[in-house]
Amino acid sequence: MNAKWLPALAVPALLLGSTAASGAAASQGVINSHRWAGYEAVANGSTVQSFQYVQATFTVPGLNCAQTSTASATQAVVLAESSFARYVGNWAETAVVESCQNGSPAYSAYGAYNSSSDCSGSAPLPVAVSPGDDVELTLDSGLTSTIHDLTTGVTRSTTSERGSCAILTTAAVFTSGSPVADFTQAAFHQIQVEASGQSTPQPLVHSGWSVNKYVLKGSSGRADVKPEALLSGTYTSAFVNDWLAPN
C-alpha cells in the first residue's frame, strides 16, 4: 500500500463516512486491463438483475505534465451492459478528464453513452473543475450524468439518449487513459451503487453482486495504474488509484 495514503487509511471512517462501520478489505477477482483501473460490481443475475445508480466522490488531482507532456487521465463512474472482463458494447459514464496538452494541464467534465450500435452520445458538463476541488460524480439508469463540485457549489447535469440499448448489469468506479497522465493518486470515497428494486444505495461490496478489481497495464505488461485495497463500511466504500507509469 502506498505510504502516502497510510494516514487516511489508518482512520477508515474518514474515507467511508462518519456513519460507516470500520473499513475492511474486500475480496475480489483481479483482472489486467489495457484500459481500466479500479473496481466494478457485477449483478449476480438472481437476487440482483441490474443497476440503476452509481456515485463516487474524489479530490481532483493536480497533474505532473513534466512527466507526461501529452496524456490524459479520466476519473469516472460507469454503468455498463456487462462486466468489463469481456467485450462491452454499451456503457455510460460521468467523468472528469485531466489532460496534459503539450506540457500544460487542462480539466473538464462530461457525461456520455458509448455504444457499438447507433445510440452513442456525449455532452460536456460545463463546470470549471480545478485541482484540489472535491467533486461528486453520479450516474443513473436513465443516463443522467451529474457533477457536483462540492468546493465551488456548482452542479451540472446532462442526459444521454439511450433508446432501446442494453440493460445495465455492471456498476464501476474507474480511472482510464492511454497514455495515462501522471495524476499521482485519485482517492475515491462515498462510493455507492443501487440495484434495480432497491430503495437505497449500497456500498460497492454487497451479497447481491460480485466485485472485480482492475489493474491498468500497458503494452510493456507493467502496471500503469493500480488500485489499493477496497474498503467497505455499512453504507459506503472507498479506495485509492495510484499512478505508476505512463501507458
DSSP string computed for 193-240: EEETT-SS-B-S--TTEEEEEEEEE-TTSSEEEEE-PPEE-SS-EEEE
Q: 226: burial class by Cβ within 10 Å (0-12, 13-18, 19+)?
A: buried
Band of residue 164 on the pLDDT scale cut at 50, 70, 90: low
- pLDDT exceeds 70 at position 18: no
pLDDT at residue number 120: 66
Q: Which of 8-17, 28-37, 180-189, 207-216 has the lowest mean pLDDT?
A: 8-17
Find the mean pLDDT for residues 49-63.
Answer: 97
Q: What single DSSP character describes residue 181?
A: P
pLDDT at residue number 3: 33
Band of residue 24 on the pLDDT scale cut at 50, 70, 90: very low
Judge contact between 228 and 214, C-beta under 8 A: no
pLDDT at residue number 98: 96
Backbone angles phi, psi at 100, to 5 degrees: -100, 120
DSSP string, 10-72: TSHHHHH-TTSPPP-BPP-EEEEESSEEEEEEEE-SSS---EEEEEEEEEPPPP-TTT-SSEE
- pLDDT exceeds 60 at position 5: no
Band of residue 247 on the pLDDT scale cut at 50, 70, 90: low
pLDDT at residue number 17: 55
CATH number of 23-243: 2.60.120.700
pLDDT at residue number 218: 82
Cell 460490481 identifies what position? 41
Backbone angles phi, psi at 9, to 5 degrees: -70, -20
Q: 64: burial class by Cβ within 10 Å (0-12, 13-18, 19+)?
A: middle
- pLDDT exceeds 50 at position 242: yes
Find the mean pLDDT for residues 14-26.
Answer: 47
Q: Strand pairing partners for 243? A: 225
Average confidence score pLDDT of the chain = 86
- The model's pTM: 0.88
pLDDT at residue number 89: 83
Task: Output the nine-digit C-alpha cell for 204.
Answer: 460497492
pLDDT at residue number 115: 81
Band of residue 70 on the pLDDT scale cut at 50, 70, 90: very high
* pLDDT above 70 as % of the chain: 85
C-alpha 75/C-alpha 78 separation (Å) is 10
pLDDT at residue number 165: 62
Task: Give the other-Cβ count within 10 Å of 153's Cβ.
Answer: 7
Residue pLDDT, tens place only, 74-133: 999 999 999 999 888 889 999 999 999 888 999 999 999 888 765 667 788 989 999 999
Judge contact between 52 and 123, C-beta under 8 A: no
C-alpha 163/C-alpha 149 separation (Å) is 29
The angle formed by the CA atoms of residues 52, 35 and 123, to the nearest 5 degrees, is 55
C-alpha 115/C-alpha 7 separation (Å) is 41
Residue pLDDT, tens place only, 36-53: 999 999 999 999 999 999
Whole-number Cα distances in Å, 68 to 18, 28, 63, 64, 221: 37, 31, 9, 7, 19
